[in-house]
Amino acid sequence: MTSTAPVRRAIPPVPVLSLAAFSGGRRAALPSLLDGADARLVTSGRVAIGLALRALGVGDGDVVLVPAYHSPSMVPPAHWCGAEVAFYRVRPDTAPDLADIEAHVARGRVKAILATHFFGIPHDLTLLRALCDRHGIGLVEDCAHCFFGARDGVAVGSVGDYAIGSTMKFFPIYEGGCLVSRRHRLDVALHGAGAGFEMKAALNALEAAFAYGRLPVLRMLLALPLRAKSALWGALKSRGGKSGGKSGNKSGGTTAPALAPSSSDSSFEFDPRWADKRSSWFSRTVLRAVSPARIVARRRRNYLDLQRALDGVPGCRPLYSTLPDGACPWMFPLLVDRPQAVFDALLRAGVPMTRFGATLWAGVDASVCANSADLGRRLIAFPCHQALDDGERAWLHAQVRQALETCAAVPA
Ligand SMILES: *Cc1c(COP(=O)(O)O)cnc(C)c1O
């Protein structure tokens, strides 16, 4: 194999729309979060967490237990309910540490526990469910990484009192999350977020597809209207966007009107103004129209192909040695010996990656949970979503292999 400088190439970090997304059939090999559940489609997973906690009666003075390995977006929904958050330990494979949860519960005031199926691999929550039942604690299953799946015949989302999903992590949509329950009726009323939001949700999903060369015919047809939209957008921005109120825009630049929640913008924030807003018509339609069978089959295939491509490559090992039959992966989590060097090399090459847990809530460090700190430091997750085509996957495999081999060859 000749070693050349990495060719920078843009591959979609998240699913984007394509015509193929609609073919492949409705019958997925795995159950989805929405099967047989009362459901509300909202604009993000974090909003769904807030609504789930509220439905459990979480309020002032209560404690919500959150995994020490987490996304900072999982914490503010508990604060929104008035609760405090305490962090429980996870095992090296991210499973909840039940002994540590018991210790937290013994301190009192624990009203709800958030349990996450990380990276799309369902945990067995039987014992945690029993613990919650013994103590009268509500269980929220965080299926943000696990929209499809089952473990020992038990569908994901069916063990918790409530479960939440982040539909935008699995579907080619700009915004979306869901609150579901197979155990309780949902008493949650949602409202539309307005025409501006509806338009933005549709256009952003289409533009994301166009940016990666998908839907070329539609792109041509929409070229003129999209230019008009850009002009309109510019005009709105130059007016100062006074209607936006407090901005969720980290850049601190122009304050655009809050036409869409910052949760769709790689932000960890929780914006209460979106707590009662329905997901857009476009997102809901795509969610229903694309093939779930294709999502499950391709994500599993892409995961296994990447695992094979990295077999024997030095300086790394997959977080999970096998992909369970009941899993539909969110991303491919890899433990890397020299994470910063590998990450920097891949960043230069333009490889999309997620370092889940690299940013933890203030105060959560190795003294709280050594496994979480270690995962946050060493884990790099790579895309395995359904929209990657063969060329993009081959390029991804070559880049990751090359970066790992190069970094392993350099003396520490
Ligand atoms: C992304 C994520 C969430 C929140 O989902 P959003 O749709 O981004 O609000 C919750 N839990 C986990 C584990 C996540 O990764």
The answer on 305 and 177 residing in a single domain is no
Per-residue model confidence (pLDDT) at position 7? 57
The answer on 154 and 32 residing in a single domain is yes
The answer on 177 and 29 residing in a single domain is yes
The answer on 301 and 154 residing in a single domain is no
Ligand 1 pocket mutation, candidates 140, 169, 265, 271, criterion most atoms within 8 A of CB: 169
- 278 DSSP assignment: P
- Total domain count for the chain? 2
Atom 2 in ligand 1: which residue has the minimum CA distance? 144
C-alpha 132 – ligand 1 centre gap (Å) = 23
| Residue 65 lies inside a defined structural domain of this protein | yes
How far apart, in whole angstroms, are the C-alpha atoms of residue 327 and residue 151? 8
| Residue 123 lies inside a defined structural domain of this protein | yes
7: its two tokens: 């060719």
| Residue 235 lies inside a defined structural domain of this protein | no
Atom 5 in ligand 1: which residue has the minimum CA distance? 45
The atom of ligand 1 lying closest to the CA of 48 is 9
How far apart, in whole angstroms, are the C-alpha atoms of residue 37 and residue 299? 24
| Residue 327 lies inside a defined structural domain of this protein | yes
Q: Are strands 379-383 and 154-155 parallel, antiparallel or unpaired?
A: unpaired
| Residue 249 lies inside a defined structural domain of this protein | no
C-alpha 166 – ligand 1 centre gap (Å) = 6
392: its two tokens: 């993009």
C-alpha 75 – ligand 1 centre gap (Å) = 10
- Boundary residue ending a domain (181, 204, 224): 181
The atom of ligand 1 lying closest to the CA of 176 is 7
CB 12 within 8 Å of CB 381: no
Burial bucket for residue 388 (CB in 10 Å: 0-12, 13-18, 19+)? buried
162 Rama sector, left if φ>0, alpha if ψ -120 to 50, beta otherwise: beta
CATH number of domain containing 374: 3.90.1150.10
Amino acid letter, 336: V
In the block, residue with structure tokens 């469910």: 129
- Boundary residue ending a domain (161, 181, 201): 181
Amino acid letter, 377: R
The residue range of the domain holding 152 is: 25-181
Ligand 1 pocket mutation, candidates 166, 265, 361, 372, criterion most atoms within 8 A of CB: 166
The atom of ligand 1 lying closest to the CA of 166 is 7
C-alpha 45 – ligand 1 centre gap (Å) = 5
Q: Tens digit of pLDDT per residue, the chain (412 long)? A: 444 555 567 899 999 999 999 999 888 889 999 998 899 999 999 999 999 999 999 999 999 999 999 999 999 999 999 999 999 999 999 999 999 999 999 999 999 999 999 999 999 999 999 999 999 999 999 999 999 999 999 999 999 999 999 999 999 999 999 999 999 999 999 999 999 999 999 999 999 999 999 999 999 998 887 788 778 878 877 775 444 444 444 444 444 447 889 988 888 899 999 999 999 999 999 999 999 999 999 999 999 999 999 999 999 999 999 999 999 999 999 999 999 999 999 999 999 999 999 999 999 999 999 999 999 999 999 999 999 999 999 999 999 999 999 999 988 7
How far apart, in whole angstroms, are the C-alpha atoms of residue 93 and residue 119? 11
C-alpha 405 – ligand 1 centre gap (Å) = 32
| Residue 366 lies inside a defined structural domain of this protein | yes
- Give the ranges where 215-331 is alpha helix by DSSP (H): 216-238, 281-289, 292-309
DSSP string, 192-204: ---HHHHHHHHHH
Q: Which residues pair with 90 in a beta bridge?
A: 96
C-alpha 14 – ligand 1 centre gap (Å) = 14
How far apart, in whole angstroms, are the C-alpha atoms of residue 55 and residue 139? 11
| Residue 256 lies inside a defined structural domain of this protein | no
The atom of ligand 1 lying closest to the CA of 356 is 15
Q: For a pLDDT cut of 90, what percent of the chain falls above it?
A: 84
C-alpha 328 – ligand 1 centre gap (Å) = 16
The answer on 177 and 45 residing in a single domain is yes
| Residue 325 lies inside a defined structural domain of this protein | yes
- Give the ranges where 136-194 is alpha helix by DSSP (H): 167-170
340 Rama sector, left if φ>0, alpha if ψ -120 to 50, beta otherwise: alpha
C-alpha 272 – ligand 1 centre gap (Å) = 16
C-alpha 47 – ligand 1 centre gap (Å) = 9
Per-residue model confidence (pLDDT) at position 253? 41
Atom 1 in ligand 1: which residue has the minimum CA distance? 144
Q: Are strands 150-151 and 138-142 parallel, antiparallel or unpaired?
A: unpaired
Ligand 1 pocket mutation, candidates 140, 142, 168, criterion most atoms within 8 A of CB: 142
Ligand 1 neighbours by CB, cut-off 6 Å: 44-46, 71, 73-74, 116, 142, 144-145, 166, 168, 177, 263
How far apart, in whole angstroms, are the C-alpha atoms of residue 108 and residue 273? 32
Residues with Cβ within 8 Å of residue 315, at least 6 apart in sequence: 336, 337, 338, 342, 404, 407, 408
CB 48 within 8 Å of CB 144: no
CA torsion sign for 61, 65, 68, 71 is negative
Atom 14 in ligand 1: which residue has the minimum CA distance? 144
CATH number of domain containing 60: 3.40.640.10
The answer on 301 and 175 residing in a single domain is no
Give the closest residue to 85 by CA, choosing from 99, 98, 104.
104
Per-residue model confidence (pLDDT) at position 8? 63
- Boundary residue ending a domain (181, 207, 230): 181
C-alpha 286 – ligand 1 centre gap (Å) = 20
The atom of ligand 1 lying closest to the CA of 73 is 4
